[in-house]
Amino acid sequence: MKYEEFDKLITEMSRENASDDYWYDVGVSDAMTLLEKFSEDDWKVLGNNVIDKPLEWQKRLVYCFEEENDAREINIILSLIETTDKELFEMCIDSLRFLINDNNKDYIINNNELMKKLRKVASIDNTSGRVCSEFLNKLQ
């Protein structure tokens, strides 16, 4: 399974002594390449394990998502969006802005709890508020 390779890479890249420069220069590309090779079983294992992973691991994962209209990525982001960590929340919203399109936006719009949270955050005059506001505009 490619999941084991991906988990090992992200775990190594998430440690305190891991270089952020190396992650952005090399690690993210390697991680994205592994995601492209995921089987449906790999995606299931990832979805089942992501909530139990450390915060930095989750952030690295969300950073790797870029496939528009990939319901698997959207579902994983939605499972992480309930975080209390501001940075991870913003990363999830930012990723959703690129993953959401006319074919899948109803999935978000029909999630009442998420929409309530997004509207609340969008009403705040800060970076998170602007990101959420932009995302809500894209949903219309």
Delimit the domains of the chain by residue range: 1-64, 85-140
Q: Quick one: pLDDT band at residue 61, thresholds 50, 70, 90?
A: very high
**CA 86 to each of CA 1, 47, 121, 128: distance values in angstroms, whole numbers, following the listed order:** 32, 21, 11, 8
Q: Quick one: pLDDT band at residue 64, thresholds 50, 70, 90?
A: very high
Res. 69: pLDDT tops 60: no
User: CB within 8 A of 119, min separation 6: which ones?
Assistant: 132, 136
Q: How far apart are CA 6 and CA 59, in angstroms?
A: 14
Q: How much is the mean pLDDT over the chain?
A: 87
pTM comes to: 0.83
Res. 57: pLDDT tops 90: yes
pLDDT at 102: 78
